Amino acid sequence: MFPALETELKQEVGTLPLRELHRNPVLLDQKTCPDPYEDFMYHHLQYYGYFKAQRGSLPNSASHQHVRKNNPRYGLSGSFGEREDVIPDPLQKEKLLWPTCLSSAAHRQIEAVSRDPLMLSSPLKSRQLLHDEFGEVNPCLREPRDLFTFFPSSGPLQAPRWPIECEVIKENLHHIEWVPPQPEYFYQPTGNEKLPEIVGEEKGTVVYQLDSVPTEGSYFTSSRVGGKRGIIREPAVTLQGPEDNTLLFESRFESGNLQKAVRVDTYEYELTLRTDLYTNKHTQWFYFRVQNTRKDTTYRFTIVNLLKPKSLYTVGMKPLMYSQLDANTHNIGWRREGNEIRYYKNNTDDGQQPFYCLTWTIQFPHDQDTCFFAHFYPYTYTDLQCYLLSVANNPVQSQFCKLRTLCRSLAGNTVYLLTITNPSRTPREAAAKKAVVLSARVHPGESNGSWIMKGFLDFILSNSPDAQLLRDIFVFKVVPMLNPDGVIVGNYRCSLAGRDLNRHYKTILKESFPCIWHTRNMVKRLLEEREVLLYCDFHGHSRKNNIFLYGCKNNDRKYWLHERVFPLMLSKNVPDKFSFQSCNFKVQKCKEGTGRVVMWRMGILNSYTMESTFGGSTLGNKRDTHFTIEDLKSLGYHVCDTLLDFCDPDRTKFMQCLAELKELLKQEIHKKFNELGQDMDLEGNWSDISLSDIESSTSGSDSSLSDGLPVHLLSMADEVNQKKKIYKKKKKKPLQTRKQRNEQYQKNNLMRELKLIEDTPTQKPRFTVSCCPKRSTNSSQEPAPDMKPLWSRNRYPATKRGRATMMVYPSLHIYTYP
């Protein structure tokens, strides 16, 4: 300490009131406490070590106010020392109150100041206390950014975690975004396309094969960064020299999927896709790399184990190709390539489910190039993390976009939750905001959902007036990647539980389906706070072109057809991409576990699944052209634009769409009855007709078979069932009631009586009937004429040895079995 400075401080604060000294204990001096309260506070502060001065100079007046306010040494601008009764504005008074939620780090900072007044000569070095432009401390806490910032401003991102069975190469792949200058038209079949016969590895040469891939019968156990431990082996063949033109395949990277490659001719290869991990199905998504290419040479690739009988490849869809040399030299990214494209049934029959083949030819643009092929534009977990890192480090966007961890996936990867809204001026205004919930990539192979989500986020986080308006009136809850594990390992539909997550939104298995369980729980809590206007889950579709929505038919007459207004508005805003005719609002039993239906049953009227094609558009100016990345991103913007139309206080557009929907429904009903050969008066109460009768099923996917217990529980369930069977075999007869035992005993006794009668020589029996426990001794007495023998109720036969010639039955006694 500096004695001169300490003396000066004591002289300057000698008249401060004790309540202010309680807020800033370093200002206490040696004056005497004037009242019991101040005496108590003196002992209190002294006990905790905040005050070690004498009591002779404790302050008792506010005459020193102007001294502290004008003394720059404190750097506090009177915030801690001003009296509460001189603050005229109640709001300002509330802002100046000492915060009660200081972290331990802030407390340590203040304690250091209290022990060393020299620190007051410069602003406090705390990230949690706000400073004004003069370097003075304002006793208001900064928002704790560390709770939301998951990414360091410098350094590596959180590395993806893989199942320990998966081998992963140590290369970081990155593809540039690029929009083709010209439309990419569908392939037009000529009818002369070759259908290669599947040869297999018996007649070909295996040039690439993954062995350590978990399949059906195994289940996920643990994960680690980098996947499998040990040295990563080379699954591809080794080139014999510069003249060796064998292609080198690779897929052990994020979202990659290729199990095996067989060279069946010089420039012809048969490819086998890896099924979703821990399953034996869902082969649709592919993404792999080839090296050692030759320019102007026609190669043929044939994928031999696809499972869907129908595909967009039959109507002109082309695979995607990416040239690394073109990207580096000409800034050209993914483009549609391929000729002689055919999708057909595999001719091999192994007695299991039938397989289908996709074949195409290609000419590589460069020699010795590195090229990639994909089913659709890849969007990996690392791509998402890079995007979220840019948002977190943006000083403007981070003010209204808060990033949190929704949960951890089975493999331990973070499932991110974004909350996007502008700060509200009052609590009432904040509570009045409605919510919108958006999610994507519950099916990892449907990367088009991520590109739509990226377009939405680009717009809603921008400084556009419409985006600012949306943030003012809504709270957006966004889960951009629901199934990060599946995205990382290159699955098409399933998580590491081996199940389709979009069939398990009703699950209670929190540990097996954490992403879905926490999403549903988040929406449930949100519904308790505010109304959720809209829920939409972004998907991809492999059998239909264009973009469309699946919704849920509302049964409330008050909101009849309201669930169709938003899709109709979207079709008007995007007439060349969105098809309202492809929308469907039927709730099928097999879709009860989907996010769309579960959220609708939780009370969200406008609950949708957005399906975007892997192919392209058949509408308007974009007819017969493939969708690009920019097309999908633009749809994210149009979702925001349509949301503004849907919520416009002027209900003109809404009512026009509702009237149009009623007219369209009349036409559909009339068409349906004409097909059935029936007449109907549509001027009557036609709105009572069930809409389910005129709608087709949402046959967009055949993944209902993915429902059921997660694979790691199946073996346990089988063991339990076996034990039940064994237990049933060994199980004794159940205990009977007293009544049942009496009836059974009487029945058995009756059977014995009948058997004795049958075995006895024919002779007129003599009966003795009595209602008393004592047996009648007059055995010669005949029974009354109207008295029927009651032997059926006797319990104990009275036969004795040596009396076989005459049966004597006992009297009727009523006993109960003990």
| Residues annotated as catalytic (active site), given as ranges | 611
Give exposure, 613-640, as e/b (b: 16+ Cβ within 10 Å): bbbbbbbeebebbbbbbebbbbbbbbbb
Separation CA 488–CA 681 (nearest Å): 57
Cα distances (angstroms) measured from residue 591 to each of 544, 588, 595, 639, 694: 19, 5, 9, 24, 18
Enumerate residues 6+ apart whose C-beta is below 8 A from 424.
430, 433
In one-letter notation, the amino acid at residue 315 is V
The strand ranges marked E within 627-777 are: none
Residue 544: phi and psi, rounded to 5, are: -130, 145
Q: How many residues does the chain have?
A: 818
Separation CA 773–CA 775 (nearest Å): 6
Calculate the dihedral angle through the C-alpha atoms of 720, 721, 724, 730, rounding to the nearest 10 degrees. -120
Can you count the helices (H) and strands (E) in the chain?
20, 24
* Helices (H), ranges, 545-608: 565-573, 595-601
Residue 475: phi and psi, rounded to 5, are: -110, 115
Cα distances (angstroms) measured from residue 281 to each of 222, 274, 491, 513, 776: 22, 9, 10, 19, 84
Which of these, 224, 235, 232, 346, lies nearest to 283 by C-alpha position?
A: 346
Beta bridge partners, 287, equal: 257, 374
Which of these, 557, 454, 550, lies nearest to 502 by C-alpha position?
A: 550
Enumerate residues 6+ apart whose C-beta is below 8 A from 614.
312, 317, 375, 376, 448, 540, 541, 542
Helix-strand-coil split of the chain, %, nearest 5: 35, 15, 50
For 348-354, the CB contacts below 8 A with 24+ separation are 348/198, 348/200, 353/281, 353/307, 354/309
Answer yes or no: are the C-beta atoms of 744 and 736 closer than 8 Å: yes
Separation CA 720–CA 716 (nearest Å): 6
DSSP string covering 33-96, please?
Answer: P-SHHHHHHHHHHHHTTS--S-STB----STTHHHHHT-TTS-STTTTTS-GGG---HHHHHHH
In one-letter notation, the amino acid at residue 548 is F
Hunting for tokens 């001027």 — which residue is that? Answer: 683
Which of these, 356, 262, 274, 266, lies nearest to 309 by C-alpha position?
A: 356
